[in-house]
Amino acid sequence: MQVYDAPLRDMRFVLHELHQDDGFGGLAHFRDFTPDLLDAVLEEAARFTREVLLPLNASGDAEGCRIENGMVYTPRGFQQAYDRFRAGGWCALANDPAFGGQGLPETVNKLVEEMICAANVAFSLYPGLTHGATTAIEGHASDELKQAYLPKLVEGVWSATMCLTEAQCGTDLGLLRTRATPQADGSYQINGSKIFISAGEHDLTENIVHLVLARLPDAPAGVKGISLFLAPKYLPDPAGAPGARNGVSCANIEHKMGMTAAATCQLNFDDTTGWLVGQPNKGMAAMFTMMNAERVSVGVQGLGIAEAAYQGAVAYAKDRLQGRSLAGAKRPDLPADPIIVHPDVRRMLMTIRAYNEGCRALGGWVARAMDAEKFADDPEVKAHAADFVALMTPVVKALFTDLGFEATNLGVQVYGGHGYIRDHGMEQYVRDARITMIYEGTNGIQGLDLVGRKLGAHTGRYLRSFFHPVSAFLEAGQDDARLGPMVADLKKAFGALQLATGTVAQRGLGDPEEAGAAGTDYLRLIGLVAMGYCFVKSARIATERLAQGADDAAFYKAKIDTAAFFCDRILPQASACFLAIKAGKRSMMALDEAAF
């Protein structure tokens, strides 16, 4: 049986304590959202995900979606759950009030996203993609399209997709063939096929709005000739209600390894009416507004699934009796000790815990920057926040999902044979987590983005948005005897990152394959240092709270213990990443292709 209860205490720590001095300052835009109000939102989200979404996770996985005569039906209970989700205002949580949103900070929205993904990640795709689409429409569409579509999307009565991939092209979108032909009334006729479209067809909303990449007749070749179009399943009538059926149909749904309750569709566009979003041949820039938002959200999916796996593994480890503690029986009243007493089980549980707390802390930092990028009054703060978001988006997407998949595998290992069978629901987490490393740009692509675009951009300006606060923190904390070993560990890892950065930058200038060979290791390295920084900072805050006599001393002690584990057992991987980067491409590229 799957278990999940949102880790509200740690979420409140990240929201209210950890990042108050992050350089982005207080945002006056959110002054009406008091800590008590935000906590109430989190508590209600925790209740909803626990009581409504979690019970549908295993059953939805077992049933999956089905297609009949081009119509896709979600598993039993999903329609009712979505209706409650929409009625509760969760679709509109962080959207602009001008279009019916509640305008809450992204820092809160990302924590709610984590809860939804932990309880039922397949369900999360339906409203999650809609939220991403609203960012693209709001940022690039005409006022007429905004007024016609955003209120319905924000409310959740309509949903949205992003239609990029075609059979012959995935990441290399320059190869796409879908065409858009201008019409006399200013609309376009779209023709082509798209695959792997999450939530492309379903029965949860009364209309589905597709954001489609296509080429105009006179478009230049490659990615410079791609435009973005909005094409609804049903064309709105004069009153704005769903009217005539548009020329888009679902040919099939994919039979997947995991996330079976999330419909992944093959869509055909046959003389489909659509409207241009943004400028002609500038569709990639508009779509990346949505894609980058989705990449952060996919990272949160990895974190959410890992948290569910952690809670399930802990519950089992406390209950399962096997063997005696190596230090002597801990529960002599029982025929054997619970397996949580064994060092290797502790290693696995502490690893998952450290991954989750580190990702949550780093994700909270990035979410604060997302808020500052949009709402800070000071242009310099906005620019600094935008740099940090640009740098960390590939890190959040790839690192969180890599660690999330590793965490679910460790969860299965804690269960042993019982984890490999379906009875306990742990193996579902492994299957569900696997796709997060692939979609929205494979994790290898994220590494290439980091070293190929972000590392050298604006003469290293993106990197400075991260390096400067870490360097200042280390300098300020070097004489803190309470945190001495942790600070030393972080300083060593940061030094490895600085050396690796110089190595990648120097070699990559002369040989792009050198940068490409370093991408995955460099992304892991910067992510480890970022989490290490968050952990040592957390330990400092926890130490201060304990010295002040905090009521919840157990929480702060656990925070220090987890930070120590991360610095002792996980952060040393930074040195290995640097050594791999230093080795370069030689052995990676040496083997003749015919020898594979």
| Least confident window among 368-372, 390-394, 454-458 | 454-458
Inter-residue long-range contacts of 239-245, CB under 8 Å, 24+ positions, other chains counted: 240/148, 240/152, 242/206, 242/207
**Residue 172 predicted with pLDDT over 80:** no
Q: What is the mean pLDDT of residues 238-251?
A: 96
- Please give the Cα distance from 171 to 263 (Å, whole number): 21
**Residue 410 predicted with pLDDT over 90:** yes
Distances (CA, A) of 358 to 11, 106, 243, 582: 12, 18, 48, 26
Q: Please tell me the predicted confidence (pLDDT) of residue 155.
A: 97
SS3 content of the chain, % helix, strand, coil (to 5): 65, 10, 25
Which band of pLDDT confidence, cut at 50, 70 and 90, is reported for residue 26? Answer: confident
Q: Please tell me the predicted confidence (pLDDT) of residue 287.
A: 82
Inter-residue long-range contacts of 243-248, CB under 8 Å, 24+ positions, other chains counted: 246/272, 246/273, 247/190, 247/271, 247/272, 247/273, 248/210, 248/272
Q: Which CATH number does the domain 290-587 belong to among 1.10.1200.10, 3.40.50.300, 3.20.20.80, 1.20.140.10?
A: 1.20.140.10
pLDDT tens-place string over residues 59-116: 999 999 999 999 999 999 999 999 999 999 999 999 999 999 999 999 999 999 999 9
Q: Please tell me the predicted confidence (pLDDT) of residue 146.
A: 97
Q: Write down how long the chain is.
A: 596
| Least confident window among 291-300, 335-344, 473-482 | 473-482
Q: For the domain covering 8-140, report its CATH number.
A: 1.10.540.10
More confident residue, 173 or 117: 117
Q: Please tell me the predicted confidence (pLDDT) of residue 307.
A: 98
Q: Please tell me the predicted confidence (pLDDT) of residue 533.
A: 98
CB 530 within 8 A of CB 362: yes
Q: What residues have CB less than 8 Å from 255, skipping those under 6 apart?
A: none
pLDDT tens-place string over residues 565-590: 999 999 999 999 999 999 999 999 99
Place of tokens 């099939």: 252
Instruction: Considering the candidates 155, 357, 427, 440, report the single residue annotated as catalytic.
Output: 440
Q: What are the domain boundaries of the chain?
A: 8-140, 159-287, 290-587
Q: What is the mean pLDDT of residues 363-372?
A: 96
**Residue 173 predicted with pLDDT over 80:** no
Q: Please tell me the predicted confidence (pLDDT) of residue 24.
A: 84
Q: Is 17 a catalytic residue?
A: no
Which band of pLDDT confidence, cut at 50, 70 and 90, is reported for residue 470? Answer: very high
Q: For residue 351, which amino acid is it?
A: T
Q: For residue 270, which amino acid is it?
A: D
CB 290 within 8 A of CB 160: no
| Least confident window among 16-20, 283-287, 394-398 | 283-287
Task: Single out the residue of 277, 38, 303 nearest to residue 135, CA to CA.
Answer: 277
- Measured in degrees and rounded to the nearest 5, phi and psi for residue 308 equal -65, -40
Task: Copy the structure tokens of residue 324.
Answer: 């005696």
Which band of pLDDT confidence, cut at 50, 70 and 90, is reported for residue 453? Answer: very high
Which band of pLDDT confidence, cut at 50, 70 and 90, is reported for residue 229? Answer: very high
Global pTM reads 0.96
CB 51 within 8 A of CB 6: no
CB 339 within 8 A of CB 331: no
- Please give the Cα distance from 142 to 276 (Å, whole number): 9
**Residue 290 predicted with pLDDT over 90:** no
Q: For the domain covering 159-287, report its CATH number.
A: 2.40.110.20
**Residue 479 predicted with pLDDT over 90:** no
